[in-house]
Amino acid sequence: MKVKQSMVGLTPYQPGKPIEEVKKELGLEEVIKLASNENPYGASPSVGPAVQEALGNVAVYPDGYAKLLRMRTAEKLGVSEKQLIFGNGSDEVILILCRAMLGPEDNIVTAVPTFPQYRHNAVIEGTEVKEVPLQDGVHDLDAMADAVDEKTKIVFVCNPNNPSGTYVNEEAFRDFMKNIPPHVLVVSDEAYVEYVQADDYPDTIPMLNTYTNLLILRTFSKAYGIASLRVGFGIGHEALVQSIEPGREPFNTNSAAQAAAVAALEDEAFLQDCVAKNTEERQKMEQFCEEHGFSYYPSEANFILMSVGRPGGEVFETLLKAGFIVRNGEALGFPDYVRITLGSSSQNERIRHELLQWLKQEV
């Protein structure tokens, strides 16, 4: 039996190496994973009890409409409940969009390098992918707008961008929206929005009142710290959201995940503490790069893409043997870089020390 032609040659998403696998492979007692942009401080203390309570009723299907989570999220964001679509991670919302809107006669426009699932899901639908290179790590919105044609259905803007951590500012994004035809959907993927400190980062939710062709993606996997339970969502014009809802699988967010997301959403103090720590650690890492002449992209996320003047694969392997899992930039479109998730203060200090010690030995 054969899969459809568009699937041939595609590879599954490759996550960072699991901790236990690295321990066994290299005979290490301790391994620190700084590869998948997870929250090193975990989730709110209220998440555990909420999950335990949900697990007491595992024989019953979850709420397919995610009513309580929907209500709490709508209240927090100041939108209508009907403007929200929930997914098994925001990855699934991307899949739903592509499933609902794309075909072999269409194309999408994305940056490159960026989050690979935009391209991946479009290719599965047999859709052409028009990729516009980043400029200094930032989306080239003018060139992306120029790439839009009569066959374009979706334009993806990852903001802040993964893997560079850079962002598109409000003025640039507003100008971009003015240049996109109303029949073309713009997806603003804001997975790292909670970590952003830039004053001129786009405030996209109010833009929904002006642009019916805008969809915003958010997630509970990053700053909220419940990546293993997989909850993400889209925010858009009510008519748009209702039109793609039939592409969503029944019961796609489980009861434990919904309960965890509600608990995480309500603990604003924990979230802000995580954000403050991340900001401090990000500044330390950027200062470290400045002091030692290492190249890096200024980040508004919870990771940094940096180069120590060695091939990304070499740095990745060296750090792996020392017990640190990072992401090799060669797999991300930045061959001379590694992407390092910002861990706790002690973890970040240890990885900086390890890098300097290795580089001293190499001289």
* DSSP string across 188-242: EE-TTGGG---TTS---GGGGGT-TTEEEEEESSSTT--GGG--EEEEE-HHHHH
Q: What is the CATH number of the domain that holds 213?
A: 3.40.640.10
**Quick one: 180 and 260 in the same domain?**
yes
User: What's the domain range around 348?
Assistant: 5-43+269-362
pLDDT exceeds 80 at position 105: yes
pTM for this predicted structure:
0.94
> Of the candidates 279, 362, 254, which has an alpha carbon nearest to the alpha carbon of residue 315?
362
**Quick one: 23 and 99 in the same domain?**
no
Q: Which of 234, 266, 298 is the last residue of a domain?
A: 266
Q: Which H/E stretch holds residue 146?
A: helix 141-147
Q: What is the CATH number of the domain that holds 287?
A: 3.90.1150.10
Q: Which of 266, 281, 302 is the last residue of a domain?
A: 266
Mean pLDDT of 46-61: 95
pLDDT exceeds 90 at position 18: no
Q: Which H/E stretch holds residue 139?
A: none
**Quick one: 17 and 114 in the same domain?**
no
Q: How confident is the model at residue 16 (pLDDT cuts 50, 70, 90)?
A: low
Q: How confident is the model at residue 244 (pLDDT cuts 50, 70, 90)?
A: very high
What does the pLDDT look like over 177-221, one tens digit per residue? 999 999 999 999 999 999 999 999 999 999 999 999 999 999 999
Tokens of 230: 């997989």
**Quick one: 136 and 147 in the same domain?**
yes
How far apart are alpha carbons 157 and 168 in whole angstroms? 9
**Quick one: 262 and 273 in the same domain?**
no
In total, how many domains does the chain have? 2
**Quick one: 306 and 181 in the same domain?**
no
**Quick one: 103 and 161 in the same domain?**
yes
Q: Residue 110 has what pLDDT?
A: 98
> What residue has token string 């990053």?
222
**Quick one: 284 and 203 in the same domain?**
no
Q: Which of 202, 233, 266 is the last residue of a domain?
A: 266
**Quick one: 281 and 145 in the same domain?**
no
**Quick one: 32 and 85 in the same domain?**
no
Q: Residue 363 has what pLDDT?
A: 55
**Quick one: 245 and 295 in the same domain?**
no
Count CA atoms closer than 13 A to 89's CA, side-chain side. 12
**Quick one: 216 and 358 in the same domain?**
no
Q: Which residues pair with 87 in a beta bridge?
A: 232
What does the pLDDT look like over 245-271, one tens digit per residue? 999 999 999 999 999 999 999 999 999
